[in-house]
Structure 1
Amino acid sequence: MALSVSELVAELRRAVEGQVGDQVVVGEVGSCKPASSGHVYFTIKDERAQLDCVMYKFQAAASRVVLREGMKVELFGKATVYEGRGRLQFTVTRVREAGLGELQARFEALKRKLAAEGLFDAEGKLELPPFPKSVGLITSATGAVIQDMRHVFERRAPWIKVFLLPVQVQGAGAEHGIASAVRAWGRFDEFGLPPVDLLIVARGGGSLEDMWCFNEEVVARAIAECPVPVVSAVGHETDFTIADFVADLRAPTPTAAVELVTPDGPALDAWLEDCGERVKRRLYQVWERADLMLGLLVQRKFKSPLDVLNPFIQRLDDLEYEWEDAWQKRLQSGYDWLDRMELELKARHPKQFCRMMGERLDGLEVRLKSAAAQRFAVASGALELLAAQVEARSPQETLKRGYALVQGEDGRLVRDAEQVPEGTRLRVSLARGKMSVVRREDGGEAADGEELQPDGV
């Protein structure tokens, strides 16, 4: 059966997605064309083949990797066939720069090693001075980072002396230059460097590969051994390096590092100005009082200089009395409180509780006995009534009224004379005693020789 083009392409798409499906592809980015829709269309290639790729808008916006031609990448996604053109295509969901997996493994291994040695422990961190007089910068002499940091220093603390020791912050061998600079400022007198109160090791943002020199062990050990407090300010807030963990303080950005280590100059000026005004007002008040006292002495208003002190001495006496009275009241209040607590504790003493429970049990016992006696009396009366009723209805009482019970030889009661054949011996029970009789039609003698005059029996 012949297939249409769309049917064949659909079969090819299902076959590719079913047999190949999700994959990770490593290669070099060829042509790369971001579309106005937000999608990114590009090719990935190696020395033998090339593959069309697409990364849709939402995945492209979430990706931290900006694709560019010639870039080595790892692509996570799914192989499929684009039915509109019938071409094999790789739909990308995530992008990672090639080699980052190995770098991340090296990062974690070194992090575990240094942590085990205690280089990250808070106990080994140096305290930063609150008001540094001089700061050393270890960063690149070019670029926006050093300019941004200089502007923040000028705005917040222009009196701080800032010294720059330029180093390479990217590329092969940069880690040795950074480590040497840190060690040199740790022994500033040997290398002819000016003494500083703290160091800032800084660099702007970038990829993991760009900032890898700050993840080298030589840099970490140089920072850990430095006798001067070191602030690490590498990358952006989401970037973390080994230098951040070893340093005495980690700053999210280089400019944030300057703000963390410097006091706010304008705020400090305002606070000092306020303190100065308060000191002036206080001094003026003291001066006015002293001038008044001196004027009174000059005018001979007092016979002796002690006259000036007497009011104050009297005031001190008053304060002493007030203090003693307040403490006496406070102590008495404490004693009263202790007395109340003592009474409350006595009331809650186990012996008191047991006594109360004993009294309660005694009361319950009396109530129980009274209730039992009442119930017993009621039950006894009911029982006597029932006994009287039973006795009144008993067969013996019936016999006392002149009735008799007649039983056959088998012990059964006789209720009908026709059912008893002649000559049958019967047993008669009376109110007092029993006797035996024989059934006679003409009223014969009893079997025992007793003469009876029954009517038919």
Structure 2
Amino acid sequence: MSFFPDSPDRQTENNATNVAEYSVSEISGALKRTVEDTFSHVRVRGEISGYRGPHSSGHAYFALKDERARIEAVIWRGSMSRIKFRPEEGMEVIATGKLTTYPGSSKYQIVIEQMEPAGAGALMALLEERKQRLAREGLFDADRKQLLPFMPRTIGVITSPTGAVIRDIIHRITDRFPLHVLVWPVRVQGETTGEEVSRAVAGFNSAYFGEVLPRPDVLIVARGGGSLEDLWGFNDENVVRAVAASDIPVISAVGHETDWTLIDLAADMRAPTPTGAAEMAVPVRTDLQAQLASYSARLASAMTRLIDRRRESYRALQRALPSTDQLLALPRRRFDEAGSRLGRALLVSTEQKRARFDGLKRHLSPRLLNQQIRERRLQLQQLNQRLPRGLSLKAQNSRNLLRQTSSRLTGELILRRSRQWALNIANLQRRGDQAMRHSLQKYRTRSLELSRLMETLSHTSVLKRGFAIVLNDQGLPVKAAAAVQTGENLTLRFHDGDRSVIADGSAPAPAAQTPKMQSAEPPAKDKKTKAPRAKDSGQGTLF
């Protein structure tokens, strides 16, 4: 019987054959029922191809193939959770399910309800290939492994919260050394085991626990024993990479002592059982207390013996050392001698400084300053007179040279040379002007400085500070009180004018701390008596 109807223009001709006519949907439905009834329960052995993980809906779509054929496969979300291992590209499996068709694309496929590896040999081959590949990347190197802390404050445990493993770990830690235990619940069997364990390891490393909940000092990844398929989630590549990249030391306690997984190779320490992992993580508190008590007793005994030995040594040294008076006798004598010499040294230094000041004072007279100013002004005038003449002479020499060479040059060269000479002359003239202005400014600044210095050293500046000059009736300065006669007309010269006074002959009351005025000229020396030396008031001379 044929399932393909003839074309409409031949229906009249085919009506005579009495062939039934079907629609596309009817054909697709008939094929679907036929395939599902015939192959309602099959087991297919093949290699996984095109597996990209579960879809966002939770379903997985891939294909099973061998060396000669290929069949599409699908695992619905409900069946994915019952598969004990994670499918991978290239893995040989035995799939159990039923065949069906998809009318939308005229394809047939197998709906997988259960799936298992084709054999332990295939899993071991896959495990060995993954082990060698990760080992080449250096994830199992010994230099990457960290040392476990001797006395952790907090331990993080990654395991199932409902199994006996977590109870054994907590019970063992409580017996040995009670401390904080943080449990990150994960599935320890099934397809999602690898993803959950890797997220837990990364979460302990990156999470902020705050001050109340401290960050774990060591992690324990634990699970009870089982078959290779049961422990397959701990051979996941993501788990191995997460454990190798952990900043917190990791103890692997997966399976029994004879079981091994890739996480055991990447972890910093492998424990034969979860209870053994708890023993590795914490010491025994009672042993530490006994050892600490022993160390404390030994320390106290050693300190007592050391103090006794040091006390005896100090007593022996004390008998050998001189007394305090003997040690300080020589420094005291040196101190007394230095104190006695200090007064004389100060007087001598003061006299030396005063003599040096008097010598420098004689070189700073107004007459000498005026002479230097006149010399600088004369030099400046001479330079000012010589500068225009020099510039003119230079310009004339340049013109003469230009005339001498003009007869030997062509018109274009003459023009170029003349422009060059004109530019040189302009540059020389500008530099001459700049030099003259610089020299004038320099001598003007020096002249102002000398003028200010002369004004500072002049007696008029002394009068502005409150002093006065006493003149007799002849206009000469009176240098001593004994030279003033009673009733004599005197003139007091201040900085802003003169005032006439008459000497009454009485001596004024002595004023405290009144500075005495000294004359610029030395007092007349008597052949018989020597005039007493006036104390230096620090104000300088008046004349």
TM-score by length of 1: 0.41
